[in-house]
Amino acid sequence: MSGSLPHPYYQYCDLGPVPRRSPAPTPGALDMLHRVQAYRGHPVQQLGFITASTTFDAKENLDRLLLILTQPPMFTTLRVDLSKISAREAQHEIMISLKEQSMKTGLETFSMFWHAEFQDCLVLHNRGPNTVEKVDKEMMVDLACGMAVLRGAHVFVQGIMAAPPGKKLFIGNGVSQVSRSDVFNAYSRSVRGVGVLMTQPVFEAPCLAELSFPWLVPQNLPSIACVHALAPQPGELVLDMCAAPGGKTSHIAALMANQGKIVALEKSSERAKKLEQLGLQNVHVFAYDATKALSQDLVPQAERVFGPPFPPSSFDRILVDAPCSALGQRPCYVNRISVNQLMSFPVIQHKLLMVAAELLRPGGVLVYSTCTITLAENEEQVAKFLARRADMKLVAPSVRLGSCGLEGSQLDATQRAMVQRYDPGMLLADRDSRPSQDLHNVDTIGFFIAKFVKHKEEDT
């Protein structure tokens, strides 16, 4: 770090090159609109961006959803491990940390409240968009850094770019903590930490990097709801089929009070190692392809070495937080996924569900979730699974958040009412009529949850 004085900078986020034949970008749509326009040449109901409604309604729904996906949620949710700290102590420690952030940035601190349905979920109210006047000097950051800043992060040195190529998005003003030579010389790789302290962001949210407590996990509300829908109990054997990065795995462990056993499968050996580094007591991590986790041999469980593949009916509860197109993530200004990539996810998702059904014991619970908005990966996936597995029953989670499933799939009205679709586009559809105290349950990332129970033998 040099001894030069800090300088005010205004931040631009690089959105990459302008796509060929791109429509004129509108505020909030940008490249994402162009790419979904390209999808419209394909069976749009199968892709799931629109429903079986009229063409006018479908376009209105799509445009509304695209706009809201480019904006960060106005709420930050934090999961507290109440087995390690009381709710009162946790809120006190977080408030102290937020006040320290406020002293550094000059921003007001954030109001918070406990979620009415989930006792381990603390909700913080963000602010924005703000009208921010640009200062004289400009600095460019990469796309990932820019999206993180919109959700409360400062600019870390690694996110600073040398030149402003392509389209840009203004994300706010800040004070440089490093000099240009610190960042762009031959030894810049040794420079770490905050490069720009954000003092006038367009969207204000707590800096999660500075909320570093062993009992605290920043998680989106639907991800918290997903594990509560699974409702793991102490002493059970639970399988997390796609476990990395470990947020839901650690939540399962917390709800089980570290009693019982959790098997966490992760296909990537590198991600599996990071999962092991969490040091969760009752979690057994395996670098293993979950689509191959079912064993067909007849060796008794007592004589087997514990680990995948597992015999049928091994687990009390299974979470399939499946790989998906992640089109529900917010904020997202650019999405470079191809149609072929988009169409590949339902294949792997169905394989995972079919393996999970075999591994689940009769009477056991299976929860399927994605962080995407497509019909093919959500409602259609559930319908296909139910059609092939007569022993699996779709049930409603005990806590009802989100909205019903979309029309246009093979699910009937009763079944659509049992799944949970978190659709932030609804914010723009009925914002004026929705009670303000309920906004934190709607202003989330796009997400989907379906819960199943496997019939017991006497029920079939």
Residue 443 marked as a ligand binder: no
Residue 245 marked as a ligand binder: yes
* Whole-angstrom distance, CA of residue 99 vs CA of residue 89: 16
Per annotation, catalytic residue among 145, 207, 226, 371: 371
What is 41-76 written as a DSSP string? TS-HHHHTSS-SS-HHHHHHHHHHHHHHHTS--SEE
Residue with tokens 């800090």, as numbered in its chain: 6
Q: Backbone phi, then psi, for 429, in 5-degree steps?
A: -85, -40
* Whole-angstrom distance, CA of residue 39 vs CA of residue 290: 30
Residue 99 marked as a ligand binder: no
Whether 219 and 247 have beta carbons less than 8 Å apart is answered as yes
Q: Backbone phi, then psi, for 171, in 5-degree steps?
A: -120, -5
Residue with tokens 């509304």, as numbered in its chain: 64
* Whole-angstrom distance, CA of residue 128 vs CA of residue 125: 10
Q: Which two tokens stand for residue 336?
A: 């470079």
Residues in Cβ contact with 76 at an 8 Å cutoff, skipping those fewer than 6 apart = 110, 123, 124, 126, 151, 152, 205, 206, 208, 218
Q: How far is CA 40 from CA 47, 139, 238, 381, in A?
A: 9, 36, 40, 21
Residue 300 marked as a ligand binder: no
- Other beta carbons within 10 Å of 279: 8
The SS3 of residue 351 is: helix
Q: HEC profile for 278-311?
A: CCCCCEEEEECCHHHCECCCCCCHHHCCCCCCEC
424: cis peptide before it, omega within 30°? no
The SS3 of residue 100 is: helix
Residue 246 marked as a ligand binder: yes
Residue 266 marked as a ligand binder: yes
- In degrees, to the nearest 5, what angle opens at C-alpha 196 toward C-alphas 191 and 199? 160
371 is catalytic: yes
Residue 247 marked as a ligand binder: yes
Residue 28 marked as a ligand binder: no
Residue 303 marked as a ligand binder: no
Active site residues: 371
- What residues are designated binding site for S-adenosyl-L-methionine? 242-248, 266, 297, 321
- Residue ranges at the known binding site: 242-248, 266, 297, 321
